[in-house]
Amino acid sequence: MRRSPIPSLSLSRNPSRISVVPWVVGLGLLLLVSIVCGVALGAAGVGWADVQRFLWAGFTGGTVHAGDVAAYTIVWEIRLPRVVLGAVVGAGLAAVGVAVQAMVRNALADPFVLGISSGAAVGANAVILLGAFAGLGVWALSLSAFVSALAAMVLVYSVARSAHGLTPLRLILTGTALAYGFEAVTTVMVFGAARGEAARSAMMWLLGSLGGATWAQVPLAAVTVAAGWAWLRWRAEALNALAMGDETSAALGVQPGRLRRELFLVSAAVTGTVVAVSGAIGFVGLMVPHVVRMLVGADHRRVLAVAPLVGAVLLVWADLLSRLLLAPAELPVGVITAVVGVPAFLLLMRRGGYAFGGR
Distance separating alpha carbons of residues 19 and 296, to the nearest angstrom: 7
Q: At residue 35, does pLDDT exceed 60?
A: yes
Burial bucket for residue 266 (CB in 10 Å: 0-12, 13-18, 19+): buried
Residue 351: the pLDDT is 63
162 beta partners? 165
- For position 359, what pLDDT does the model report? 47
Confidence of residue 17 (pLDDT cuts 50, 70, 90): low
Which residues constitute the domain of residue 38?
31-208+217-352
Looking at the structure of the chain, the number of domains it has is 1
Q: What is the CATH number of the domain that holds 249?
A: 1.10.3470.10
Cβ of 299: how many Cβ atoms within 10 Å?
Answer: 23
Residue 268's pLDDT band, with cuts at 50, 70 and 90, is: confident
Per-residue pLDDT band at 13 (split at 50, 70, 90): very low
Residue 80: inside a domain, yes or no? Answer: yes
Q: Would 6 be classed as within a structural domain?
A: no
Q: What is the pLDDT of residue 306?
A: 96
Instruction: Classify residue 357: in a domain, yes or no.
Output: no
> What value, to the nearest 5°, has the Cα angle with vertex 20 and ends 88 and 358?
95
Domain-located, residue 245: yes
173 falls within a domain: yes
Quote the pLDDT of residue 85: 95
* Mean pLDDT for all residues in the chain: 82
In a domain, 319, yes or no: yes
Q: What is the pLDDT of residue 11?
A: 45
Reported for 151-155, long-range contacts at CB under 8 A and 24+ positions apart, including other chains, are: 151/119, 151/123, 152/115, 152/116, 152/118, 152/119, 152/120, 152/122, 152/178, 152/182, 153/114, 153/116, 153/119, 153/264, 153/265, 153/268, 153/269, 153/272, 155/119
